[in-house]
């Protein structure tokens, strides 16, 4: 496995790059905008294809690299469904899995530091964001932080992981790089409390100054959405209303780019072909399923996904691959639901 812990010395942020093999798919956790060139260089040096970029929560102390990485690699951006960021490509909730080739992370919803904080468990380790730091815990005094929720996330979720689980936080200010759940239980001063009330007392009496970049970072981090205007200006876009009018017509092929878990949870537009975004390049290239389908039948490919991000990137790639009769549904299934579009297969696990 390739596992890199990368450091931004300005915000003391740790960013994690994971891949199962050289030449394979990679994912990145908590990237920092100023370091994006370095990540891209490293991805190139290790011959990795970045497919997912995840933020554990909306950061207040640095600007995220999520949007820049998406624009430069066409990777999927992932955050929790509670996050107030305008658009990401994929949203997860407690217990969901984030998969790439050879690696699977389990999402744990751990509110408290913020109301959109997640931790991600991978085999012997957990990426704790700012929920659990080494000998510390994330502050709870802004972004809908809540010390009682933090206590619950720490004591009833994170500390229930096996003691030997490695703890990789999103920050460290003292130079520590890794700990374990057992070590934190024993030595983290914030965790030596007998009740949620006692924990809340500690957290509300910290009186910390705001992070220096907070006024810039939070608004920037809430606006990560890919602009879908240019795609629309090129005529490659249908509104959800327009899509409703053409769905079911014989010259249309609806292509669902989401993952199976998203389809099971949220349903699909009836009659969709499933072609996950991760397999897009093969599917739209010469000889690929979608390429052949479009060529052989002359039908119009209508891509859609959860929020219109993956489909906007897919339609651009499809046009570049010569599939000129392709478009996408602006705003994705989210917009489709808002105009009461018909759904099939919803309500799965």
Query: Which is closer to Fe ion, CB of 130 or CB of 259?
Result: 130
How far is the C-alpha of 51 from the C-alpha of 142, rounded, in Å?
A: 31
- C-alpha distances (whole Å) from 106 to each of 117, 167, 251, 312 are 14, 15, 40, 27
Provide the minimum distance between the beta carbon of 147 and Fe ion in the complex, in angstroms, as a whole number.
15
Q: Which is nearer to Fe ion, 140 or 179 (CB)?
A: 140
Q: How many residues bind Fe ion (CB under 5 A)?
A: 1
Q: Which stretch binds Fe ion (CB under 5 A): 123-131, 189-197, 267-275, 324-332?
A: 123-131
Residue number with the smallest Cβ distance to Fe ion = 130
Which residue is associated with the tokens 């975004």?
277
Which one, 82 or 130, has the nearer CB to Fe ion? Answer: 130
In sequence order, which residues have a C-beta less than 8 Å from that of residue 10 and are 6 or more positions away? 34, 62
The alpha-carbon radius of gyration of the chain (Å, integer) is 21
CB of 72 vs Fe ion, minimal distance in Å: 24
Q: What contacts 20, CB < 8 A, 6 or more positions away? A: 1, 2, 100, 101, 102, 103
Separation of alpha carbons 160 and 338, rounded Å: 39
Q: Which stretch binds Fe ion (CB under 5 A): 95-103, 124-132, 191-199, 328-336?
A: 124-132
Q: What is the closest distance, in whole angstroms, from the C-beta atom of residue 57 to Fe ion in the complex?
A: 6
Q: For the packed helices 196-204 and 147-156, what is the interaxial angle rounded to 10 degrees?
A: 130
Task: Candidates 72-80, 130-138, 300-308, 313-321: pick the segment binding Fe ion (CB under 5 A).
Answer: 130-138
- Rounded (5°) CA angle 321-323-328: 110
Q: Which is nearer to Fe ion, 194 or 208 (CB)?
A: 208
Three-state DSSP class for residue 229: helix
Task: Give the Cα-Cα-Cα angle 283, 288, 294 (nearest 5 degrees).
Answer: 90
Measured from the CB atom, the residue of 130 and 268 that comes closer to Fe ion is 130
* 200 CB-near residues (< 8 Å, 6+ apart): 147, 148, 151
Considering the rule CB under 5 A, would residue 130 count as an interface residue with Fe ion?
Answer: yes
Shortest Å, Cβ 56 to Fe ion:
8
Q: Minimal distance in Å, beta carbon 113 to Fe ion?
A: 6
The residue (of 116 and 130) whose beta carbon lies closer to Fe ion is 130
Q: Which is nearer to Fe ion, 76 or 218 (CB)?
A: 218
Tell me which stretch binds Fe ion (CB under 5 A): 38-46, 77-85, 125-133, 284-292. Answer: 125-133
Give the footprint of Fe ion on residues 12-51 (CB under 5 A). none
Q: How does DSSP classify residue 280?
A: H
Q: Nearest approach, Cβ of 112 to Fe ion (angstroms)?
A: 11
Give 256: exposed, middle or buried? Use CB within 10 Å, 0-12, 13-18, 19+.
Answer: buried
In the complex, minimum distance from the CB of residue 197 to Fe ion, in angstroms, rounded to a whole number:
24
Q: How far is the CB of 306 from Fe ion (least distance, A)?
A: 25
Residue with smaller CB distance to Fe ion, 217 or 243? 217
Residues of this chain that bind Fe ion (CB under 5 A): 130
């Amino acid at each position: 496995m390739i596992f890199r812990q990368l450091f931004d010395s300005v915000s003391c942020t740790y960013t994690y790059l994971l891949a199962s093999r050289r030449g394979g798919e990679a994912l990145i956790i908590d990237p920092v905008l100023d370091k994006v060139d370095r990540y891209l260089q490293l991805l190139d040096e290790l011959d990795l294809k970045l497919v997912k970029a995840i933020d554990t929560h909306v950061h207040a102390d640095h600007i995220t690299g999520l949007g820049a990485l998406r624009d430069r690699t066409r990777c999927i951006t992932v955050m929790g469904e509670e996050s107030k960021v305008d658009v990401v490509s994929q949203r997860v909730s407690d217990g969901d899995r984030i998969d790439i080739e050879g690696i699977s992370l389990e999402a744990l919803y751990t509110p408290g530091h913020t109301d959109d904080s997640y931790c991600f468990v991978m085999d012997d380790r957990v990426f704790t964001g700012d929920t659990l730091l080494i000998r510390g815990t994330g502050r709870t005094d802004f972004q809908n932080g809540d010390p009682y929720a933090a206590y619950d996330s720490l004591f009833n979720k994170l500390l229930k992981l096996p003691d030997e689980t490695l703890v990789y936080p999103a920050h460290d200010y003292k130079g520590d790089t890794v700990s374990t759940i057992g070590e934190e239980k024993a030595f983290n001063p914030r965790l030596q409390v007998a009740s949620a009330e006692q924990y809340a007392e500690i957290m509300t009496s910290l009186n910390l100054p705001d992070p220096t970049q907070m006024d810039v970072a939070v608004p920037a981090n809430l606006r990560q959405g890919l602009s879908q205007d240019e795609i629309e200006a090129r005529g490659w876009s249908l509104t959800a209303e327009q899509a409703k009018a053409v769905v079911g017509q014989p010259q249309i092929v609806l292509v669902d780019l989401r993952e199976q878990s998203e389809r099971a949870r949220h349903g699909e537009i009836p009659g969709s072909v499933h072609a996950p975004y991760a397999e897009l390049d093969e599917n739209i290239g010469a000889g690929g399923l979608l390429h052949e389908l479009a060529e052989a039948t002359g039908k119009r490919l209508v891509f859609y996904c959860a929020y219109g991000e993956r489909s906007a990137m897919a339609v651009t790639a499809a046009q570049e691959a010569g599939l000129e009769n392709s478009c996408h549904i602006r705003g994705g299934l989210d917009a489709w639901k808002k105009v009461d579009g018909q759904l099939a297969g919803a309500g799965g696990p």
